């Protein structure tokens, strides 16, 4: 669970990280202001299945660059989800880049936990398939 | 006084009250207790046994008189209606200027400049991903950008509020703009709206990567310089809005804000200043949630507490030192992406709470803020909402119209007690600076945000369109999104920025930065004097922040789970 780019508002990312932990998932969370290269490095060393990007103030617009950087490091099996304020006219940008899911404000905890568990299982299967 | 027993002590009263209690219980049975966001239990009825009028002069007083519960000015909104002031920041400086001119025509009187997040992290626009420029504020990196933003706008007639964090380059750029327009600095009125570095550090991490101790120094220098060079300027705006948006309850947000004010006042006393020299320029900025009566009580209680603390703890004699002047913004957290037009109703209710709470300046959110940056239409509706509340509903007719309400007065007393317990907790930590450094505040915000989320998840708190009264996706519910700034315009801006840097007097730039560095390393010099000189010499925002970081240290967010 992380925030890339420039924004610092972390109410959402702290909440989601905590309730994924409560649901029994192993969560690595960072503070805001992360560089894409930092997130890729962390994904590699911590054997991450799903990356959650929290975005309030348009940092979602550099998520396609994160996706490209993951593929370049051979980490294409990792699912990426974005949560927060994503205007309708940016949804294609994210889906075309391969983002698995966009969680808009008001999404229930149950829905987020269920989807993250499913994506994590899929990512583990996909990684096994590539070995 | 007549010596007669109070009405509520009479046998008649007791009988009537017992009858009502019996009727109520018979019809509703045992109810689940209801609580407001600050955790105070809310009863179905309030009367003289809850609040008996207290001692009017001690607890309420007249507007403009101690303890200012009813308002800080004798005339309040009759004498001067609140300033409709929108946080405006979008795209490039020319776009900001066009949006502001539109809003001015329909009644906005307060200017606000919100810079984009490249600025908020202390970068120049050529140092960040171009996709992020101008997306959540205006790109402003130099005095030249500020000049374009404010061209033709009456900065000498209306106050200008700046979304400006340490080292306060936006204010410096504004002062450079004023100089180029021949406006004396002494005439400028406005607010360094984001000067409260502790709120940034604890609640939202919107600071310029400068060490906490360095930000403390910069802010105190800023207050001193403004007092001497621009005495009408509010150099300090203490922000409870950040904390409430990050999860604090209304009582916690008010308590933490007053604790920050105490910290800053103590820091100024330590520099050898008299309280009445600096306290009159303290101002505040709060969130207004949709918890209507709770917000009204929060503002009334906060005003009374600060009036007392300024007098009793700091010994302020000047009544202006004890005035709790505040701007407030309707809460974005309460707005929903689902059924977004409902947000217009939410904002109107929030705004009314702020007005009845006695605010001096008001930002009403655009209804589409849960979807993205506001469109021009949504911004116009938010200004119109204020015009309607003032001119059609006449909410400016009566000062403190809810004063004397059994409920509002009881709740004001209860909120006061809650707020004071937060202040006591922070006092016990050794003050707000220490509480921020050790993560105590961040922890409080995270816990309260979690409790709120639990209430929404389990349905204890209804959010229309989210967990109740939901509808399917209806096309009529989807307003158009704001169009993105074209990449070609960003490229053109960056080319102009590069030309601006190339064509400056490079010797003057180097000299201004070196002088700033020396001031940072000398306790006897004022850093802000040199930051203004940098702005006048054409030094850019990123260059100023970079040099300050090098001299005063780099800061990172303190992360609490």
Count of all residues that appear for chain B in the document: 561
Taking CB atoms and an 8 Å limit, are A9 and B246 in contact across chains?
yes
- pLDDT band at residue B471 under the 50/70/90 scheme: confident
Q: Is the pLDDT of residue A43 over 50?
A: yes
Which ipTM was obtained for this model? 0.94
pLDDT score of B126: 97
Backbone angles phi, psi at A51, to 5 degrees: -105, 125
Continuous H helices in B271-405: 275-278, 292-312, 342-356, 376-387
- H or E, element range at B113: strand B111-113
**Spatial separation of the C-alpha atoms in residues B148 and B93, rounded to whole Å:** 6
User: Which of A19, A62, A88 lies nearest to residue B478, judging by beta carbons?
Assistant: A88
| Rounded CA separation B531/B89 (Å) | 23
Q: How far is B87 from chain A (nearest CA, A)?
A: 15
Contact A31 B120 (CB under 8 A): no
Q: What confidence category does residue A70 fall into, taking pLDDT thresholds of 50, 70 and 90? A: very high
Residue B146 lies in a domain: yes
At CA B27, angle to CA B22 and CA B32, rounded to 5? 95
How far apart are the C-alpha atoms of B530 and B62, rounded to whole Å?
44
Predicted confidence band at A69 (pLDDT cuts at 50, 70, 90)?
very high
Q: What is the pLDDT of residues B512-559, one digit of tens each?
A: 999 999 999 999 999 999 999 999 999 999 999 999 999 999 999 988
For residue B231, the domain's CATH number is: 3.20.20.240
Contact A44, A119 (CB under 8 A): no
> Once rounded to an integer, what is the mean pLDDT over residues B250-269?
98
- What pLDDT does B68 receive? 98
C-alpha to C-alpha distances, B252 to B2, B236, B356, B362, nearest whole angstrom:
42, 20, 20, 21
- Asked if B169 and B535 count as a contact pair (C-beta separation under 8 A), the reply is yes
Nearest to B206 among A8, A14, A104 (CB): A8
Residue B3 is predicted with a pLDDT of: 47
Q: Is A1 exposed, middle or buried (0-12, 13-18, 19+ CB in 10 A)?
A: buried
Distance from CA of A130 to the nearest CA of B (A): 33
Is B132 in Cβ contact with A105 (below 8 Å)? no
Q: Which of B135, B200, B246 sits opposite A61 (nearest CB)?
A: B135
Q: B162 forms bridges with which residues in the sheet? A: B113, B192
Nearest-angstrom CA–CA distance, B251 and B295: 9
Name which of B128, B133, B136, B466 to mutate to probe chain A: the one with the most chain A Cβ atoms within 10 A of its Cβ: B136
Model pLDDT for residues B93-144, shown as the tens digit of each residue:
999 999 999 988 888 888 889 999 999 999 999 999 999 999 889 999 999 9
**Is B270 within 8 Å of B226 (Cβ atoms)?**
no
DSSP string, B173-185: HHHHHHHHTT--G
Q: Distance (Å, rounded) from C-alpha B196 to C-alpha B239?
A: 6
SS (H, E, C) B386-443: HHHHHHHCCCCCCCCCCCCCHHHHHHHHHHHHHHHHHHHHHHHCCCHHHHHHCCHHHH
Please answer yes or no on whether A87 and B132 come within 8 Å at the CB atom: no
Pairing of strands B326-330, B282-288: parallel
Alpha-helix runs per DSSP H in A34-108: 36-45, 63-72, 91-96
The residue of chain A with its CA nearest to that of B470 is A106
3-class secondary-structure state, position B322: helix
> Helix or strand or coil: residue A119?
helix
> What is the rounded distance in angstroms from the CA atom of residue B119 to the CA atom of residue B163?
10
What is the rounded average pLDDT for all residues in chain B?
Answer: 94
| 3-state DSSP assignment of residue A54 | strand
The verdict on residue B546 lying in a domain is: no
Give pLDDT tens digits for B183-220: 999 999 999 999 999 999 999 998 999 999 999 999 99
Cβ neighbors of A47 (< 8 A, separation 6 or more) are none
Give the pLDDT confidence score for residue B5 in this predicted structure: 56
Residues of B in contact with A87 (CB under 8 A): 371-373, 481-482
Q: Quick one: closest CA in A to B375, which residue? A: A87
Do B322 and B280 touch, CB atoms closer than 8 A? Answer: no
Average pLDDT over residues B297-316: 98
Tally the C-alpha atoms within 13 A of residue B559's C-alpha that lie toward its C-beta: 16
Please count the structural domains in chain B.
1
pLDDT digits (tens, 9 = 90+) for B150-179: 999 999 998 899 998 999 999 999 999 999
Report the 3 state secondary structure along B195-262. Answer: CCHHHHHHHHCCCCCECHHHHHHHHHHHHHHHHHHCCCEECEEEECHHHHHCCCCHHHHHHHHHHHHH
| Secondary structure class of A102 (helix, strand, coil) | strand
B280 within 8 A of B271, measured Cβ to Cβ: no
- pLDDT of B475 over the 70 cut: no
Can you tell me the distance from the alpha carbon of B341 to that of B335, in angstroms, rounded to the nearest whole number? 10
Q: Per the domain annotation, does B32 fall within a domain?
A: no
Residue B2 main-chain phi, psi, to 5 deg: -90, -15
Q: How far apart are CA B96 and CA B117, in angstroms?
A: 15
With a pLDDT cut of 90, the percent of chain B lying above it is 88
Does the structure show a pLDDT above 70 at B1?
no
Dihedral angle sign, alpha carbons of residues A116, A121, A124, A129: negative
B180–chain A nearest CA distance, Å: 32
| B415 within a domain of the structure (yes/no) | yes
For the residues A46-50, what does the mean pLDDT come to? 95
DSSP notation for B453-469: HHHHHTTSS--BTTTBS
- A33 to B446: CB separation less than 8 angstroms, yes or no: no
Per-residue pLDDT tens digits for B486-510: 999 999 999 999 999 999 999 999 9
Question: Could you list the residue range(s) of the whole structural domain that residue B447 is in?
Answer: 75-457
Other CB atoms closer than 10 Å to residue B465's CB: what's the count?
19
This prediction's pTM: 0.95
Decide if A13 contacts A112 (C-beta within 8 A): no
In this predicted structure, the answer to whether residue B7 has a pLDDT above a threshold of 70 is: no
B83 lies in a domain?
Answer: yes
Which residue of chain B has the CA closest to A59? B132
Is B561's pLDDT higher than 60? yes
Count of A-B CB contacts under 8 Å: 109
Q: Which helix (H) or strand (E) covers residue B190, if one does?
A: strand B190-192
Residue B56 in any domain: the answer is no
CA neighbor of B82 nearest in space, from B280, B304, B326: B326
CB count within 10 Å of CB A91 equals 16
Q: What pLDDT, in 10s, does the model give residues B341-392?
A: 999 999 999 999 999 999 999 999 999 998 888 899 999 999 999 999 999 9
Structure confidence at residue B373 (pLDDT) = 86
More confident residue, B6 or B372: B372
Residue B476, pLDDT above cutoff 80: no
pLDDT at position B477:
75
Does residue B557 fall inside a structural domain?
A: no
Q: Is residue B522 a part of any domain in this protein?
A: no
Contact residues on chain B for A28, CB-CB shorter than 8 A: none
DSSP string, B56-105: IIIII--TTSTT-TT-SSSSHHHHSPPEEB-----SSHHHHHHHHHHHHH
Chain A positions touching B336 (Cβ under 8 A) are 105-106
Contact A70, A99 (CB under 8 A): no
The region, left, alpha or beta by phi > 0 then psi within -120 to 50, assigned to residue B92 is beta
What per-residue confidence (pLDDT) applies to B142? Answer: 97
| Banded pLDDT at B87 (limits 50, 70, 90) | confident
Per 3-state DSSP, chain A is made up of helix, strand and coil in percentages (nearest 5) of 50, 15, 35
């Amino acid at each position: 669970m992380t925030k890339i780019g420039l924004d610092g508002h972390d109410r959402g990312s702290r909440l989601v990280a905590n309730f994924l932990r409560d649901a029994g998932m192993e969560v690595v969370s960072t503070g805001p202001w992360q560089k894409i290269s930092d997130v890729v490095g962390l994904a590699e060393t911590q054997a991450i299945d799903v990356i959650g990007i929290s975005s309030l103030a348009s940092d979602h617009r550099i998520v396609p660059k994160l996706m490209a950087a993951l593929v370049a490091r051979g980490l294409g099996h990792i699912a990426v989800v974005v949560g927060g304020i994503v205007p309708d006219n940016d949804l294609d940008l994210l889906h075309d880049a391969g983002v698995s899911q966009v969680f808009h404000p008001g999404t229930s905890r149950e829905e987020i936990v269920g989807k993250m568990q499913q994506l994590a299982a899929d990512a583990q299967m996909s990684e096994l398939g590539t070995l | 006084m007549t010596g007669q027993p109070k009405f509520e002590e009479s046998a008649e009263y007791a009988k009537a009250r017992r009858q009502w209690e019996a009727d109520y219980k018979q019809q509703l049975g045992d109810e689940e207790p209801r609580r407001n966001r600050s955790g105070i239990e809310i009863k179905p009825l309030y009367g003289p046994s809850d609040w008996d009028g207290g001692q009017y002069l001690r607890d309420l007083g007249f507007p403009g008189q101690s303890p200012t519960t009813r308002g800080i000015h004798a005339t309040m909104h009759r004498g001067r209606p609140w300033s409709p002031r929108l946080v405006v920041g979008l795209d490039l400086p020319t776009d900001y200027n066009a949006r502001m001119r539109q809003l001015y025509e329909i009644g906005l009187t307060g200017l606000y400049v919100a810079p984009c997040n490249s600025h908020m992290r202390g970068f120049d626009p050529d140092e960040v991903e171009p996709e992020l420029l101008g997306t959540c504020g205006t790109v402003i990196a130099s005095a030249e950008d500020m000049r374009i933003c404010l061209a033709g706008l009456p900065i000498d007639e209306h106050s200008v509020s700046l979304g400006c964090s340490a080292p306060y380059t936006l204010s410096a750029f504004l002062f450079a703009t004023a100089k180029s327009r021949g406006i004396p600095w002494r005439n400028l009125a406005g607010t360094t709206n984001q000067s409260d570095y502790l709120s940034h550090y604890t609640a939202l991490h919107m600071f310029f990567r400068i060490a906490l101790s360095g930000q403390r120094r910069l802010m105190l220098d800023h207050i001193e310089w403004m007092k001497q060079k621009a005495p009408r300027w509010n150099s300090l705006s203490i922000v409870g809005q950040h904390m409430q948006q990050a999860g604090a309850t209304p009582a916690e947000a008010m308590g933490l804000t007053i604790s920050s004010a105490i910290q800053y006042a103590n820091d100024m006393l330590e520099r050898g200043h008299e309280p009445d020299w600096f306290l009159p320029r303290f101002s505040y900025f709060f969130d207004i949630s949709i918890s209507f009566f709770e917000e009204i009580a929060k503002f009334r209680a906060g005003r009374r507490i600060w009036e007392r603390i300024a007098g009793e703890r700091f010994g302020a004699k000047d009544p202006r030192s004890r005035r709790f002047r505040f701007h407030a913004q309707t809460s974005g957290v309460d707005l929903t992406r689902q059924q977004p037009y409902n947000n217009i109703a939410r904002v109107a209710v929030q705004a009314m709470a702020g007005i009845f709470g006695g605010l001096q300046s008001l930002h009403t959110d655009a209804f589409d803020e849960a979807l993205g940056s506001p469109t021009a239409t949504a911004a116009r509706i938010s200004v119109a909402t204020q015009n309607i509340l003032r001119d059609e509903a006449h909410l400016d007719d009566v000062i403190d119209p809810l004063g004397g309400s059994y409920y509002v007065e009881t709740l004001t007393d209860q909120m006061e007690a809650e707020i004071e317990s937060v202040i006591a907790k922070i006092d016990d930590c050794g003050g707000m600076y220490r509480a921020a450094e050790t993560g105590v505040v961040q922890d409080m915000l995270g816990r309260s945000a979690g409790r709120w989320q639990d209430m929404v998840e389990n349905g204890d708190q209804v959010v229309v369109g989210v967990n109740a009264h939901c509808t399917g996706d209806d096309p009529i519910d989807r307003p158009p999104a704001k169009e993105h700034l074209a990449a070609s315009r960003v490229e053109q801006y960056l080319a102009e920025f590069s030309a601006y840097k190339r064509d400056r007097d490079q010797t003057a730039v180097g000299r201004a930065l070196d002088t700033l560095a020396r001031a940072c390393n000398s306790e006897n010099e004022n850093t802000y004097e040199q930051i203004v000189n940098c702005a006048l010499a054409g030094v850019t925002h990123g260059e100023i922040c970079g040099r300050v970081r090098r001299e005063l240290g780099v800061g990172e967010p303190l992360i609490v789970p």
